[in-house]
């Protein structure tokens, strides 16, 4: 049974409820990653509670993850209705969602493990669909376009989290250590002799930041969506 179909347990005199449990689990995940979120660890963070006390409010570990994901999405500003510029609408929600994932890196890891069924998650999706349908797409096409945008957002967040983990595990924690790692790869490329373009770039690397790469990919997606809109609706405003 999904957590959304379970009624919230009545509040007791002691300050324990879904909101408190979700806040504690979110803080744990922010500090130590998603693997740190166990029912025991959340209970300990809340005070003198047992893990079983938490199940009364969230049903299961999956239920807790569902609640965490939706609570994170609740912080993404979503307008009440589409504006005049469909690209600006989609870009604003995409960038705000990315900023949420940067605050909560675990989101990109966990969002792929659960159905997107939370109320705030569904309202956000509804807004994306409304923006696109207002520009003449079918709901089916709008859902496909929205899914592509979300894959870009969530996939980028997950990749950045994984790269950060890799760097940390290999001691790449400064510009100097990063340049040292690049130099090692450059030496391999030069010795190979069959990758001169790569070797030349590695000699003076200039990589776009994650934010620059994300925004470039988002613009590609919006350009592609624009090309699929009915001709009379393709203009930006």
Query: What is residue 194's three-state secondary structure?
Result: coil
pLDDT tens, 68-108?
Answer: 999 999 999 999 999 999 999 999 999 999 999 999 999 99
Pick 236 or 51 by higher pLDDT.
Answer: 51
For residues 68 and 90, membership in a common domain is answered with no
For residues 18 and 109, membership in a common domain is answered with no
Task: Say if residue 177's pLDDT is above 80.
Answer: no
C-alpha 60/C-alpha 134 separation (Å) is 39
Q: How many CB atoms lie within 10 A of CB 217?
A: 16
Report yes or no: 120 and 66 within 8 Å, Cβ to Cβ: no
State the CATH number of the domain containing residue 26: 1.10.10.60
Number of domains in the chain: 2
For residues 104 and 151, membership in a common domain is answered with yes
For residues 60 and 92, membership in a common domain is answered with no
Structure confidence at residue 186 as a pLDDT band (50, 70, 90): confident
In a domain, 22, yes or no: yes
For residues 34 and 64, membership in a common domain is answered with yes
pLDDT tens, 150-170?
Answer: 999 999 999 988 887 787 777
For residues 143 and 69, membership in a common domain is answered with no
State the CATH number of the domain containing residue 121: 1.10.357.10
For residues 227 and 147, membership in a common domain is answered with yes
For residues 133 and 216, membership in a common domain is answered with yes
Domain enclosing residue 51, as ranges = 3-73
pLDDT tens, 109-140?
Answer: 999 888 878 999 999 999 999 999 999 999 99
Mean pLDDT, residues 43-55 taken together: 94
Span between the terminal Cα atoms of the chain, in Å: 43
In a domain, 18, yes or no: yes
Tokens at residue 33, please?
């990653």
Q: Give the chain's mean pLDDT.
A: 89
Q: How many CB atoms lie within 10 A of CB 173?
A: 10
């Amino acid at each position: 049974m999904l957590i959304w179909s379970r009624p919230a347990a009545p509040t007791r005199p002691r300050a324990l409820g879904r909101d408190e449990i979700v806040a504690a689990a979110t803080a744990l995940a922010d500090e130590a990653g998603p693997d740190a979120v166990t029912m025991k660890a959340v209970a300990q963070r809340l005070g003198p509670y047992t893990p079983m006390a938490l199940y009364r409010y969230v049903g299961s570990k999956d239920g807790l993850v569902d609640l965490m994901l939706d609570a994170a999405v609740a912080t993404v500003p979503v307008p009440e209705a589409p504006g005049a510029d469909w690209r600006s609408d989609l870009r604003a929600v995409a960038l705000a969602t990315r900023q949420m994932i940067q605050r909560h890196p675990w989101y990109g890891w966990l969002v792929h493990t659960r159905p997107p069924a939370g109320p705030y998650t569904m309202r956000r999706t509804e807004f994306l669909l409304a923006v696109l349908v207002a520009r003449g797409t079918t709901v089916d096409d709008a859902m496909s376009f929205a899914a592509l945008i979300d894959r870009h957002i969530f996939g980028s967040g997950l990749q950045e989290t994984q790269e950060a983990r890799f760097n940390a595990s290999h001691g790449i924690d400064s510009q100097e250590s990063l340049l040292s790692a690049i130099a090692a790869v450059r030496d391999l490329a030069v010795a190979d002799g069959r990758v001169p373009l790569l070797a030349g770039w590695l000699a003076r690397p200039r990589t776009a930041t994650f934010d620059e790469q994300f925004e470039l990919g988002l613009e590609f997606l919006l350009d592609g969506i624009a090309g699929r809109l009915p001709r009379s609706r393709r203009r930006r405003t």
